[in-house]
A and B are shown apart, each in its own frame.
Chain A
């Protein structure tokens, strides 16, 4: 749990409308990570250590669903993917580093799962809807795997969705352009559409494949 030591763990409330609120978001999410990593779990009795490599967030009151458009303009929710394990990642396409790494890992996870790889649905929700058009998302995600689906919405609902998933993001000006800071977790849902795991960026494809395999077995 190498990230835990740099965590500010005293914020539990946030105001997503402001910059400061976003900072608190980060702290709140980080605090949740610390709680989940401690042997006793988060205290609600539902977080169990040991079964999964990732952080078990089963029973969480956040991240229950989303309503986002695919590149064809169809509105998607978790119900569309029942029967599959869903891996949901928030990112942006102008990202040279963590986003391609996370999506490449997801490709490898599907490969490692063999026949069960077809029971995995990877979703890439953009936190940069101003630049990530439907066309760009479609080209980007399907370059990794033809089954991957890019999701987007307007800025307002992007903020609401991120808030609901405890995902931090912020625009950071650089030169004449901007980049995005964002939470680099992948969320895993079981075939019943329940949020189960928060997978850190440092997790290996093997670890994620093991965890997703368990979800597909109904664990």
Chain B
């Protein structure tokens, strides 16, 4: 683990995001976006998302990206596959769902600018409740270094 990730995680831990309105049922903790180099058109956002009553993460948007999708990365044998999750990412009631390297991420595509370490990226996540109502969650995700190392990838269970 490099020292960079320790340094940035200390900063990121401060960013617990709570969201709009009295009916809000979704919390997003420790969001971060992987930084990019110039010309790079895609990256991922990671976070811990909890829906109090359960729901689905169905969409997202961001001023820095033309397209935002909810993706899952999976290793099949030694091949990495990445897909939009059809119907959205299930958020079981009260359970934090981890979006992290080696699993789920919010894919930011058609980036309009380079995302530099230390900046903050606004991302709106759309969560659909069990009653079909959609709730928007504003997330301010700090940008970590492109080189940020994921936790050691042991025992994939896809």
Contact = CB atoms under 8 A, between A and B. Distances in A.
Are A and B interaction partners?
yes
Contacts of B41: 94, 131, 177
Interface stretch (B6-14, B18-26, B120-128, B146-154): B146-154
Contacts of B53: none
A184 B81 CA distance: 10
A150 to B, nearest CB: 11
B156 to A, nearest CB: 7
Contacts of B156: 2-3, 202
A143 B38 CA distance: 11
Interface string B50-91: 000000000000000011010101011111111110000000
Interface in A167-206: 168, 172, 174-177, 179-185, 200-202, 204
B80 A182 contact: yes
A7 B79 CA distance: 11
B113 interface: no
Interface stretch (A10-18, A77-85, A103-111, A115-123): A103-111
A144 interface: yes
Interface in A104-148: 104-105, 107-108, 131, 133, 135-136, 139-140, 143-144
Interface in B80-131: 80-84, 101-102, 105, 107, 109-110
A94 B69 CA distance: 14
A96 B33 CA distance: 9
Contacts of A26: 76-77, 79
Nearest to B110: A177
Given A172-B82, A179-B82, A200-B78, A139 B39 contact: yes
Contact of A183 (B78, B102, B148, B153): B78
B88 to A, nearest CB: 14
Contacts of A30: 77-78
B40 A94 contact: yes
B101 A101 contact: yes
Given A144-B147, A182-B79, A139 B42 contact: no
Given A140-B40, A143-B37, A184 B147 contact: no
A181 B80 CA distance: 6
Contact of A3 (B75, B82, B105, B148): B75
Contacts, number: 146
Contact of B37 (A95, A105, A140, A174): A140
Given A98-B73, A135-B39, A143 B147 contact: yes
Interface string B129-158: 000000000000000001111101111100
A96 B44 contact: yes
Given A133-B39, A175-B67, A179-B82, 15 more contacts: A93-B37, A96-B42, A100-B34, A100-B146, A104-B149, A136-B39, A143-B37, A144-B147, A172-B81, A174-B109, A175-B69, A179-B71, A184-B78, A184-B79, A201-B78
Interface of A: 2-3, 6-7, 26, 29-30, 33, 93-98, 100-101, 103-105, 107-108, 131, 133, 135-136, 139-140, 143-144, 168, 172, 174-177, 179-185, 200-202, 204
